[in-house]
Amino acid sequence: MIPAAFSAPGRFFRGNLHTHSTLSDGVLAPEEVCRRYRDEGYDFISLTDHFVGLYGYPIADTRPFRSNSFTTIPGAELHSGAMGNGEIWHILAVGLPEDFAPANAPHFVPVEGQETGAELARRARRAGAFVAIAHPRWSGLTLEDARMIDAAHAVEVYNHGCAVDCDRGEGFHLADLLLAEGRDLTLLATDDAHLATPDHFGGWVMVKAEANTPDLLLAALKAGHYYSTQGPEIRHLEVEGQHVSVTCSAASTVILSGQGSATKAVHGTSLTQARLQVSALNGSPWARVTVTDRAGRRAWSNPFRLN
């Protein structure tokens, strides 16, 4: 069995799905944000400015910045309703239509009578967006909070801006708990770049699609045809009987993780292939792979089923 990201037709395209500009609290204009990502070798970007009244509920029109080799997907970071800690929800929505109706979210503080985070996420998904729970550790998200967002396609498991600026960049614990409850979720790495600090070019997705177009990329994201990385490449992944075989760029560690404490690791020097025993996962119905290079940078597969 080959997970869909490695069996679907097409090639991998590199993209960042969480970025801000001067349309909200970023420091660079949309055109310059797109230029920097394009010139750093990215194939696509989604500009996801904060969708609140303070900034006029922006969905950036980035179509003028597309080229034959670089494209953009419209999006926004949505806000409405209170989490358990009293703070407002942050929900990433990539592929929003330009006429998406604003929530009653005048600022970054919950107000009485506004949509809940769950309602807003459902509405974004119905509108055609790829929906992700943003930076759960930075937000102080609880498992009870996350259970409410039943429309999410993904959890943002690595947020480079949150890692750089406050050491709260990861969401794997929350994602693994949701997976253990049977949720069908993928794992997303992003920058959340505002470009005022070194919060950019640190985490991205590699999306398998037949062409670098917004519609095909968005469909591939929804289908889980991608992996996330800080640099290492996962070139192939396959379940072969009682083993998971991984082909990757030069790595020092390849880890197979499952439910609870179940893991199996292979360590070495300049590893480009690894075979890991499924039996080490103690019957976990799902698994995911982490590849780490000698600089400590990691890549993560999406979860895949073992039965």
pLDDT reading at 24 higher than 90: yes
- Section 200-226 average pLDDT: 98
Q: What's the one-letter identity of residue 266? A: V
The answer to whether the beta carbons of residues 234 and 289 sit under 8 Å apart is yes
pLDDT value of residue 159? 98
| Cα–Cα nearest to 18, from 119, 161, 208 | 161
- Section 129-157 average pLDDT: 97
Backbone torsions φ then ψ of 17, nearest 5 degrees: -110, 10
Q: What's the one-letter identity of residue 89? A: W
pLDDT reading at 273 higher than 80: yes
| Cα–Cα nearest to 217, from 2, 7, 14 | 14
pLDDT reading at 213 higher than 90: yes
pLDDT reading at 307 higher than 80: no
Residues of the chain within CATH 3.20.20.140 domain(s) are: 4-229
Which residues are registered as beta bridge partners of 263? 257
pLDDT value of residue 217? 98
For residue 285, give the DSSP letter: S
User: Cα separation of 71 and 64, whole Å?
Assistant: 10
- Give per-residue pLDDT as tens, 217-253: 999 999 999 999 999 999 999 999 899 999 999 999 9
Question: What average pLDDT is seen over the chain?
Answer: 97
Residues of the chain within CATH 2.60.40.10 domain(s) are: 234-305
Give the rounded percent of residues in the chain with a pLDDT score beyond 90: 97
Half-sphere exposure of 111 (CA within 13 A, CB side): 10
Lookup result for tokens 């994602």: 175
Which residues are registered as beta bridge partners of 132? 92, 154
Element (H, E) at 139: helix 136-139
pLDDT value of residue 107? 95
pLDDT value of residue 282? 87
- Give per-residue pLDDT as tens, 149-171: 999 999 999 999 999 999 999 99
Is the domain spanning 4-229 CATH 3.40.50.1370? The answer is: no
pLDDT reading at 78 higher than 90: yes
Answer positive or negative: Cα dihedral of 229, 147, 45, 196: negative
- Section 278-301 average pLDDT: 95
- Written out in words, the top-level CATH class of the domain with range 234-305 is mainly beta
pTM for this model (two decimals): 0.96
In the chain, what's the furthest Cα-to-Cα distance? Answer: 57
